[in-house]
Structure 1
Amino acid sequence: IEQGVVLSTGRAFRSRGPNTTELSNGNEAWSGDADLFNYIQGLNIDPELASYNNATVVEFDFVPLTGHISFPFVFASEEYGQYQCNFSDAFAFFLTNTATGVTTNLAL
């Protein structure tokens, strides 16, 4: 990635790579995000889900000047292949219409 924003639950500067070891820089005491937790719980894919930790969030307001918006993104996790049965990484891209209050997850 040549430009953009890196959101990480660890040390973002280590995302440059190459990744040759498990980074695991996050802290389990780092709280989750209520919107993401409620979304995941609403999917009913993990009925035993009681909490969600290590959430990294960026929020901003904007007024569109056109009828089309585009936000290219990459979601990656080093937990795939090793921890996916014990932990669940999740990503959502919520767009909320402030006039109607309707929220849509664009990351489908």
Structure 2
Amino acid sequence: MGTLIAVCFLAPAAILLTSWVRRWWHRHLRAESDRAWPYRGRMSTRDAPAQIGDLPPLGRSATSAFLAAGITTLAQVSTHSRRDLLSLHGVGPKAIKILTEALSDRGLTFTE
């Protein structure tokens, strides 16, 4: 009987404490973490252009991955291996196939 009474009194207190902690976190720590992380909101693929430099159209995620890596030309792509480019988040087999065709049109290849 004693545990039932304790649960009846402590459960609302726990809910109230949780709401206080959440409110405090949103007011103080969340605002501070937004200022401390400079790239917040910049990693969206919505803002990535459809095409960069002389690279063929690859899709938003691959384009933003190449922008983040500083790769904007086919000459820069040719200095990397397929494995290096596939390790970039957003670059997949389809992008590598498109790049292979574009490189072969220019007489370039991936570094192995």
What TM-score, normalized to structure 1?
Answer: 0.21
Q: Whose radius of gyration is greater, 1 or 2?
A: 2
What TM-score, normalized to structure 2?
Answer: 0.21
Structure with the higher strand share, 1 or 2? 1
